[in-house]
């Protein structure tokens, strides 16, 4: 029987029921395990290579993404492990020009040093001729600008050119879209954000359709060691159970906040792919099952953003996004190439009316 998102997230990765055992087994804390003195390594020998709490989380993520997954210590660990395990000197890769900026920094530094050339392409296009590329990495919706790329069309174009198509699914989450089902070869993501949603851990993952490709990434992880710890894996798995509920409220709050913002003359550049006149609306509606709780807008200056954040009771100044608390981040403070008053606003799970009232009050007070 096939189930819907809420059911799938609450049951994802759970072992078969056992009387007297918890639904989700607790974290197993071990580096080495007992070995059979005669036969040697069995199911679990050393936790960098195999770890039961991590494996249960990977089953959960794999079920939701629709392809086997490997967990990493952070999103950056996952993305860089994927890139380094598939590219070699002389390869050319396409990366989002407007995506998570540490990925571009990694390409400019480590990848360039290895002799890998990267081409930066805006998420909304236009996309260049993809021939000669080893891989195309999309980030959709892109963080922080929220443009959306057509995964199916770009997977077809990449495959026709002999390139791999990978998608950073951080903002959407596997309940928002399933890139593997849309034709992507690989999904990379940060689980630090909406996937786990409590702003209390770092996590990343790589999921792939081709087991051989994933085996390369696994070998890379084994030899470089960027694995998440048992407790973080357990917290993440525990948190995935409420993902459907969290995302539903976040998305509902984002719809209300976006509507409030577009109605105000003192806020510009409002972007939310669920707004009917947003440039990303059509393609988002086609390929996404739900729109994330992130809204982007411009308050004109760093000073106004500061006044807004000071006046708001329910909006914490913080980077990252996708958590249960509403947060706002002025990206330019991190050297992102966004305007000084640009805000990435991440809706939490507060009551919608409270949040709208608080943001209205804070916008008025900050004028």
Ligand X SMILES: *Cc1c(COP(=O)(O)O)cnc(C)c1O
Contact residues for ligand X, defined by CB under 6 A: 74-76, 79, 100, 139, 143, 168, 170-171, 190, 192-193, 202, 204
- How distant is the alpha carbon of residue 365 from its chain centre? 33
Shortest Å, Cβ 71 to ligand X: 11
Nearest Cα neighbor of 179 from 66, 96, 60 is 66
Question: 94-119: b or e for each residue (b if 16 or more CB lie within 10 Å)?
Answer: bbbebbbbebbebbeeebeeeebbbb
Shortest Å, Cβ 193 to ligand X: 6
Backbone phi, then psi, for 186, in 5-degree steps?
-140, 145
Q: Which two tokens stand for residue 21?
A: 């055992």
Question: 52-76: b or e for each residue (b if 16 or more CB lie within 10 Å)?
Answer: bbbbbbbbbbbbbbbbbbbbbbbbb
Q: Return the residue nearest ligand X (CB atom).
A: 75
CB-nearer residue toward ligand X: 220 or 267: 220
CB-nearer residue toward ligand X: 260 or 323: 323
Shortest Å, Cβ 102 to ligand X: 7
Shortest Å, Cβ 144 to ligand X: 8
Shortest Å, Cβ 58 to ligand X: 16
Q: Which residue reads 């770092």 in tokens?
A: 202
CB-nearer residue toward ligand X: 166 or 241: 166
CB-nearer residue toward ligand X: 205 or 308: 205
CB-nearer residue toward ligand X: 106 or 304: 106
CB-nearer residue toward ligand X: 100 or 220: 100
Q: How many CB atoms lie within 10 A of CB 318?
A: 15
Nearest Cα neighbor of 142 from 85, 192, 103, 186 is 103
CB-nearer residue toward ligand X: 78 or 261: 78
Shortest Å, Cβ 143 to ligand X: 4
- How distant is the alpha carbon of residue 200 from its chain centre? 15
Shortest Å, Cβ 203 to ligand X: 6
Q: Which two tokens stand for residue 253?
A: 């709050």
Question: Which positions ≥6 away from 37 have C-beta within 8 Å?
Answer: none
**Cβ proximity of 252 and 142 under 8 Å:** no
Q: Which residue reads 């998570």 in tokens?
A: 100
SS3 category, 232: helix
SS3 category, 272: coil
Shortest Å, Cβ 212 to ligand X: 25
CB-nearer residue toward ligand X: 77 or 260: 77
Q: How many residues does the chain have?
A: 367
């Amino acid at each position: 029987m096939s189930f819907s998102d809420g059911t799938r997230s609450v049951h994802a990765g759970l072992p078969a029921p056992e009387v007297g055992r918890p639904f989700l087994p607790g974290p197993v804390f071990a580096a080495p395990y007992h070995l059979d003195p005669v036969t040697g390594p069995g199911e679990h020998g050393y936790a960098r290579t195999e770890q039961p709490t991590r494996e249960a989380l990977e089953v959960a993520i794999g079920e939701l993404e629709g392809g086997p997954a490997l967990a990493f210590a952070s999103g950056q660990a996952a993305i860089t492990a994927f890139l380094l395990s598939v590219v070699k000197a002389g390869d050319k890769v396409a990366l989002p020009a407007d995506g998570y900026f540490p990925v571009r920094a990694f390409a400019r530094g480590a990848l360039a040093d290895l002799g890998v050339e990267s081409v930066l392409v805006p998420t909304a296009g236009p996309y260049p001729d993809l021939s000669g590329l080893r891989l195309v990495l999309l980030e959709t919706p892109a963080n922080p600008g929220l443009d959306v790329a057509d995964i199916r069309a770009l997977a077809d174009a990449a495959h026709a050119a002999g390139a791999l198509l990978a998608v950073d699914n951080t903002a959407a989450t596997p309940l928002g879209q399933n890139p593997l089902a849309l034709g992507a070869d690989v999904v990379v993501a940060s689980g630090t954000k909406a996937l786990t949603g409590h702003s209390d851990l770092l996590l990343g993952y790589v999921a792939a359709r081709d087991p051989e490709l994933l085996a390369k990434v696994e070998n890379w992880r084994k030899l470089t060691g960027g694995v998440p710890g048992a407790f973080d894996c357990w917290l993440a798995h525990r948190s995935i159970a409420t993902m459907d509920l969290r995302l539903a409220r976040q998305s509902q709050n984002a719809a209300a906040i976006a509507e409030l913002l577009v109605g105000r003359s003192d806020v510009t550049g409002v972007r939310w792919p669920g707004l009917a006149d947003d440039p990303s609306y059509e393609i988002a509606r086609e390929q996404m099952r739900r729109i994330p709780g992130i809204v982007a807008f411009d308050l004109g200056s760093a000073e106004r953003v500061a006044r807004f954040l000071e006046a708001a009771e329910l909006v914490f100044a913080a980077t990252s996004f996708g958590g249960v608390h509403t947060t706002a981040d002025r990206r330019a403070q991190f050297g992102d190439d966004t305007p000084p008053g640009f805000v990435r606003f991440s809706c939490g799970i507060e009551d919608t009316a409270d949040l709208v009232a608080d943001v209205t009050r804070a916008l008025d007070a900050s004028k």
